A and B are shown apart, each in its own frame.
Chain A
Amino acid sequence: AQSVTQLGSHVSVSEGALVLLRCNYSSSVPPYLFWYVQYPNKGLQLLLKYTSAATLVKGINGFEAEFKKSETSFHLTKPSAHMSDAAEYFCAVTKRRGGGNKLTFGTGTQLKVEL
């Protein structure tokens, strides 16, 4: 069975500082990997996804993530945080075959951006 672990349920950064949100996956076969963002009282929006092309994936709003098979990780980064980045971030996986596009989510990381 696949699973996702997000280290740190709350992360706080200063505006302009580096954002690093951690995600590790557990799967017998490298899965597809996603980062979704949820703003308060909103639905989820895709930030980026890894589907076995380039291991460094660029997404919307200046975010990027790097797939590292040796570390089973898919950490999300942004060089310079903005106040508007404050939200809940979810890492998720799907199976490459036979999963029916079922997203298995991590427990989420709440990002707080301070002045």
Chain B
Amino acid sequence: DTAVSQTPKYLVTQMGNDKSIKCEQNLGHDTMYWYKQDSKKFLKIMFSYNNKELIINETVPNRFSPKSPDKAHLNLHINSLELGDSAVYFCASSQDRGGNTEAFFGQGTRLTVV
């Protein structure tokens, strides 16, 4: 059973398109996250939701919009895709928002914008 699953695993799309990445966790966790890993493997948080409430919103272009229909799901919608959006996007979840809580990561979605 996959704990944190993302779809799709690979996404190739043209500039200007709109795309979504879906994430689901079956761990019963309250908190979910989106992280972006760039081509140099640097990881940076984008968003975090706790029980469907947005709690972290880093400096991310407003073309990126997270949506949490319930606490087991956190989707990421990206409008007007740009070349610079090419990266690996990781979804993660943790039991709660405490700083000492382990985060469980999905396998990642490799987005390539051409």
Contact = CB atoms under 8 A, between A and B. Distances in A.
Say whether A associates with B.
Answer: yes
Interface of A: 31-32, 34, 36, 38, 41-46, 49, 51, 88, 90, 94-97, 99-105, 107-108
Name B's interface SS: strand
A108 B99 contact: no
11 contacts: A36-B105, A41-B107, A43-B107, A46-B104, A88-B41, A95-B99, A100-B56, A101-B31, A103-B45, A108-B41, A108-B42
B107 A42 contact: yes
5 smallest beta-carbon distances between A and B, as pairs: A43-B105, A94-B99, A51-B100, A105-B43, A44-B105
A107 B41 contact: yes
Nearest to B43: A105
Contacts of B108: 41-43
B112 to A, nearest CB: 14
A88 to B, nearest CB: 6
In the complex, which of the residues A34, A41, A102 has the most CB atoms of chain B within 10 Å of its own CB atom? Answer: A102
Interface string B78-102: 0000000000001010101111111
Interface of B: 4, 31, 33, 35, 40-45, 48, 50, 55-56, 90, 92, 94, 96-108
B99 A46 contact: no
A95 B44 CA distance: 15
Given A43-B105, A44-B105, A105 B42 contact: yes
Contacts of B100: 32, 49, 51, 94, 96
Given A44-B105, A46-B103, A100 B48 contact: yes
Given A43-B105, A43-B106, A101 B44 contact: no
Contacts of B101: 101
A107 B40 CA distance: 8
A104 to B, nearest CB: 8
Given A46-B103, A102-B56, 18 more contacts: A34-B102, A36-B105, A43-B92, A43-B107, A43-B108, A44-B103, A95-B99, A99-B99, A100-B31, A100-B50, A101-B96, A101-B99, A102-B48, A103-B45, A105-B42, A107-B41, A107-B42, A108-B41
